[in-house]
């Protein structure tokens, strides 16, 4: 019998006793991540911009025996992100896992009609928020030298840029998450800090209601959006389990819905056709 042990096997992954920071943890995928991490013995700093929702999400996991604490934060606020990272370290000690998950989705409005403030808001949360999370935590991970993992949450929207409804602003931010993450992976090569990009398909969350409550201007949710989200069938905890398995195998890219590949491939086919047609 071989005595060789794969460091990629789930049993070898040192989840227990480690510390995670999850943004957008009051709801949906972030809450699912916090819950599944806690079930692996990870201590979780749960963060969200919605104080009451965060407190109740945190209380719910604490009642299940999780070692969790709430940190109210708007990820778009860089100074507040730095202060939060310090506060998390003070409360839990060294942080190993960072999930830049908080995000807002605006789809269904033709690009030329998207209100300017909505454009700025989506960029601030989905793009600046991820950069801020990287800047706030990665120096701390580098400093302690115990290794770690940064997971940045993109979207299937980054891989299917033209699904037939309007999602230009949202997809632009999620494509940008790919670019930031690939560069971060290069920057951290050899440090023991992994970087993964998560591309969720439709996951059953309250994102439509949360976006409605958080958006900076009154603006009716386009009718396509609720219909689209009603089709979401995957529970957040299932998505979170897929993420953790991806982390265990050090996957640079993690997808939740493999059946989406033919749709993604259509765009790749367009790119190939453009190259083939080039003079």
Ligand X SMILES: NC(=O)c1ccc[n+]([C@@H]2O[C@H](COP(=O)([O-])OP(=O)(O)OC[C@H]3O[C@@H](n4cnc5c(N)ncnc54)[C@H](O)[C@@H]3O)[C@@H](O)[C@H]2O)c1
Task: Name the residues that contact ligand X, by CB under 6 A.
Answer: 23-24, 26-30, 48-50, 53, 73-76, 101-105, 125, 153, 155-156, 200, 202-203, 205-207, 210, 214, 232
Report the length, in residues, of the chain. 279
Closer CB to ligand X, 66 or 202, in the complex: 202
Q: How far is the CB of 117 from ligand X (least distance, A)?
A: 14
Please state, in angstroms and as integers, the Cα–Cα distance from residue 185 to each residue in 68, 118, 217, following that order.
Answer: 28, 30, 36
Q: How far is the CB of 192 from ligand X (least distance, A)?
A: 26
Burial 140-170 (b: 16+ CB within 10 A, else e): bbeeeeeebbbbbbbbbbbbbeeeeebbbbb
Q: What distance in Å separates the CA atoms of residue 223 and residue 56, rounded to the nearest whole number?
A: 30
- Nearest 5 degrees, angle CA 35-CA 39-CA 41? 115
Q: How far is the CB of 208 from ligand X (least distance, A)?
A: 8
- Nearest 5 degrees, angle CA 37-CA 40-CA 46? 25
What residues pair up with 72 in beta bridges, in sequence order?
A: 48
Q: Which of 82, 97, 170, 199 is catalytic?
A: 170
Query: 97 an active-site residue?
Result: no
Closer CB to ligand X, 187 or 213, in the complex: 213
Q: How far is the CB of 158 from ligand X (least distance, A)?
A: 9
Q: How far is the CB of 239 from ligand X (least distance, A)?
A: 8
Q: What distance in Å separates the CA atoms of residue 95 and residue 42, rounded to the nearest whole number?
A: 10
Closer CB to ligand X, 11 or 79, in the complex: 79
Closer CB to ligand X, 214 or 273, in the complex: 214
Closer CB to ligand X, 142 or 208, in the complex: 208
Q: How far is the CB of 86 from ligand X (least distance, A)?
A: 17
Listed in sequence order, the DSSP H helices in the chain are 28-39, 51-63, 78-92, 116-122, 129-144, 168-187, 207-214, 224-230, 236-248, 261-277
Q: What dihedral angle (degrees, nearest 10) is formed by the CA atoms of 11, 96, 176, 234? A: 50
The phi-psi region of residue 19 (left if phi > 0; otherwise alpha if psi is between -120 and 50; otherwise beta) is beta
Closer CB to ligand X, 76 or 141, in the complex: 76
Please state, in angstroms and as integers, the Cα–Cα distance from residue 146 to each residue in 31, 96, 106, 143, 151, following that order.
Answer: 25, 8, 38, 9, 17
User: Which residues are part of the catalytic machinery?
Assistant: 170
């Amino acid at each position: 019998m071989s005595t060789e042990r794969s460091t990629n096997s789930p049993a070898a992954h040192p989840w227990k006793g480690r510390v995670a920071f999850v943004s957008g943890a009051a709801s949906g995928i972030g809450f699912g991540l916090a819950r599944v991490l806690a079930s692996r013995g990870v201590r979780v700093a749960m963060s969200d911009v919605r104080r009451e929702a965060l407190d109740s999400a945190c209380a719910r996991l604490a009642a299940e025996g999780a070692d969790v604490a709430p940190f109210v934060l708007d990820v778009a606020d860089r100074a507040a992100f730095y202060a939060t990272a310090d506060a998390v370290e003070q409360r839990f000690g060294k942080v190993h896992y960072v999930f830049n998950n908080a995000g807002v989705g605006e789809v269904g409005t033709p690009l030329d009609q998207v209100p300017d403030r909505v454009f700025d808001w989506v960029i601030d949360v989905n793009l600046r928020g991820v950069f801020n999370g990287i800047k706030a935590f990665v120096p701390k991970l580098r400093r302690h030298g115990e290794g770690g993992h940064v997971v940045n949450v993109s979207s299937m929207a980054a891989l299917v840029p033209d699904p037939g409804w309007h999602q230009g602003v949202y997809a632009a931010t999620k494509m940008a998450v790919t670019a930031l993450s690939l560069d971060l992976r290069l920057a951290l090569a050899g440090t023991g800090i992994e970087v993964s990009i998560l591309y969720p398909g439709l996951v059953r969350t309250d994102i439509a209601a949360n976006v409605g409550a958080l958006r900076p201007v009154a603006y009716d949710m386009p009718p396509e959006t609720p219909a689209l989200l009603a089709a979401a069938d995957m529970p957040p905890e299932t998505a979170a389990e897929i993420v953790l398995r991806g982390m265990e195998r050090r996957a640079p890219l993690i997808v939740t819905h493999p059946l989406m590949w033919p749709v993604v491939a259509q765009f790749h086919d367009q790119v190939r056709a453009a190259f083939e047609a080039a003079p």
